[in-house]
Structure 1
Amino acid sequence: MALLQVDFYSNVIGMCMQMDVILPQKVDKYMDTNVKSGNDKYPTLYLLHGMGGNNTSWIRRSSIERYVDNMGIAVVMPTTHLGWYTDMYHGHKYWTFISQELPAICHEFFPGMSEKREDNFVAGLSMGGYGAFKLALGCSDRFFGAASLSGALDSSDLANIDTSNKDFFENVFGPLDKVIGSDNDLFTLATKLKESGKPLPKLYMWCGTEDFLYNGNRAMKEHLENLGFDLTYEESAGDHQWKYWDEKIQDVLKWLPLKSNIN
């Protein structure tokens, strides 16, 4: 496989941005490789970081490169700063960037990436778990599945993630009492998607039972199950740290509905 650090200009953000990208590579010594050949294109996993992270987080803190070895899948790890995968109330349009501009740039730079819905997935941790579900629920026509690890999924919790930093969250989301019911509320997005009749993404959730976001994850689980989503939910002992995410991302990769996983 190949690991690339890509610096590029974002017209949406108005500045240079970065992403780390793992690309599958056909290697002679791996006779059982799942990497496609000829005109076949490979699936892509967009892997999102949490607060305090950037495009290098998954490479530095997990063994993601080793885990996807021989899977025949591309992994895109973009930096999105502290934008919460949202068009900020005061700030940059990170939702437009992650949902529209970045996939287009990836397909321009890496034509081997499939544009088919069934070949595109997104996953993330904490803030990135929120972003992953937001992409899957808001762009279900383009993402077949999404996984959240310790995700900040309940909008009613957002103001409590760091109670000393209310101004920051208001810069991102606007008045916090207006978030619930908006397009930044995952519960609302899930309900709207179900009512729309559009295809529903497959979803995976894990959260540690000692995590400060655990109650919000349980609430999201019940909401998605009540709506009839195809949800795989897991919980186990653990709090909010990388030793759990490094372990659980391996389960996410096994869960991904790839042809190589299904066959």
Structure 2
Amino acid sequence: MTICRLEVSNPAFTPDNTQFVTVHSSHLNRRHDVSIYNVNAQTENVPIIVLMHGVYGNHWVWMGLGGIHHVYERLRSEHKISEFVLVMPSDGGLRDGSAYLPTKGHGNYEQWIMDDVITAVQKTVENVTINSPLYLSGLSMGGYGALRLGAKYAEQVSGISAHSSITDLLELTEFVDHSLDAYDCRNLHESNIVYWMNKNKNKLPPIRFDCGREDILYSGNIRFVEELKSNGIPHIYETFEGEHSWEYWHTHIVQTFEFFSDIQTHRR
């Protein structure tokens, strides 16, 4: 039992269609938080999108800084996307960012996402079940998390979409001051996205990602695209005007919702 306890917000006092959950996790040996939107979803086995934030962020930033629930509702009202539950976890709270990786003695932030967070949503949102399709998305460090976890756990994931992504763990040093030695990458390939994509090449879900041309991570994304091409890994890559900013992510989360919705349509 990896979840020791769940504390769930009261809908009478919570913003409409929103839920906050505090998860007491044995993977982290402490408490961390998840924001969930569209908890009143009516679809049976409603699919979930796990949205991973970047360095310095927390569970509330997707809504509180990115306003993505407004984008989701607009697209739904225009009948452009199918129904999802939006799951927005803390990265686990390691220093400036956990990178959603295992660490040496600080907790397993990979299993926090792939075990604790998903189980917590299944336990607290009525129409989310073990049969709900799982989609992974993220921005910056969260984009790295979505690409890496989606590739490593390919059989569990229905689609991957990432924005302004760190594509090599070394790029994390652009944002943090601490040593990368904290991350448990004793296996040489553990942090390498392309390694996991090659390892699970025949199982990979559809993959898309994008980056702004003025983004600090743009050149890294271009190198990553070339690496995927040289390894024959199918993907969609898009570039747009924009920087590493919430304005960019608020605008281009549309591509994620539409991409996942298209996958759902073809699943039926």
Pair in the same fold by TM > 0.5: yes
Question: Does 2:194 match 1:187?
Answer: yes
> Which is worse superposed, 67-76 or 43-52?
67-76
| Equivalent residue in structure 2 for 1:161, among 174, 189, 192 | 174
For 1:215, give the aligned amino acid. Answer: S
Amino acid at match of 2:241: A
Instruction: Give the TM-score of the pair, scaled to structure 2.
Output: 0.81
Q: 160, 177, 181: which one pairs with 1:170? A: 181
Distance 1:203 1:244 in 2: 20
- DSSP-derived class of the 1:215 partner: helix
- The residue number in structure 1 matching 2:49 is 45
Match of 2:114 among 77, 83, 99: 99
Residues 223-245 of structure 1: per-residue CA shift (max 9 Å, x gap):
22333333121012222111101
- For 1:161, give the aligned amino acid: E
Residues 18-64 of structure 1 show CA distances to partners (whole Å, capped at 9, x for unaligned) of 100012536xxxxxxxx42xxx2211000010001000000111221
What is the SS of the residue equivalent to 1:68? helix
Matching residue of 1:202:
206
Shift of 1:186: 0.9
Q: Deviations over 1:184-212 (max 9, x none)?
A: 11122122222xx4x11111111111212
Which whole-Å CA distance do the structure 1 matches of 2:167 and 2:105 have between them?
22
Mean Cα displacement is larger for which, 226-235 or 95-104? 226-235
- The DSSP-based 3-state class of the residue aligned with 1:102 is helix
Structure 2 partner of 1:123: 137
* Distance across 2 between alignment mates of 1:215 and 1:146: 21
Q: Which residue of 2 aligns with 1:16?
A: 31
| 4+ residue runs over 6 A deviation | none
User: Cα–Cα, structure 1 residues 259 and 146, in superposed 2: closer, same or farther, change >3 Å?
Assistant: closer
Aligned match of 2:264? 259
CA drift of 1:14 comes to: 1.2
Q: Does 1:214 align with 2:229?
A: no
What is the CA deviation profile of residues 87-126 of structure 1, one whole-angstrom value per residue up to 9, with x for unaligned ones?
1134211112112222122212224114347x21010000
RMSD of Structure 2 on Structure 1 (CA)? 2.3
Identity %: 22
Structure 1: distance between partners of 2:160 and 2:140: 13
Corresponding residue for residue 89 of structure 1:
104
Instruction: Find the residue that maps to 1:238 and give its secondary structure.
Output: coil
**Contact 1:85/1:94 (8 A) holds in 2:** yes
Aligned length: 241
> In 1, Cα distance between the equivalents of 2:105 and 2:30?
17
d(CA) in 2 for partners of 1:184 and 1:161? 17
**2:4 corresponding residue in structure 1:** none
- TM-score of the two chains, using structure 1 as the length reference: 0.83
Amino acid at match of 1:16: R
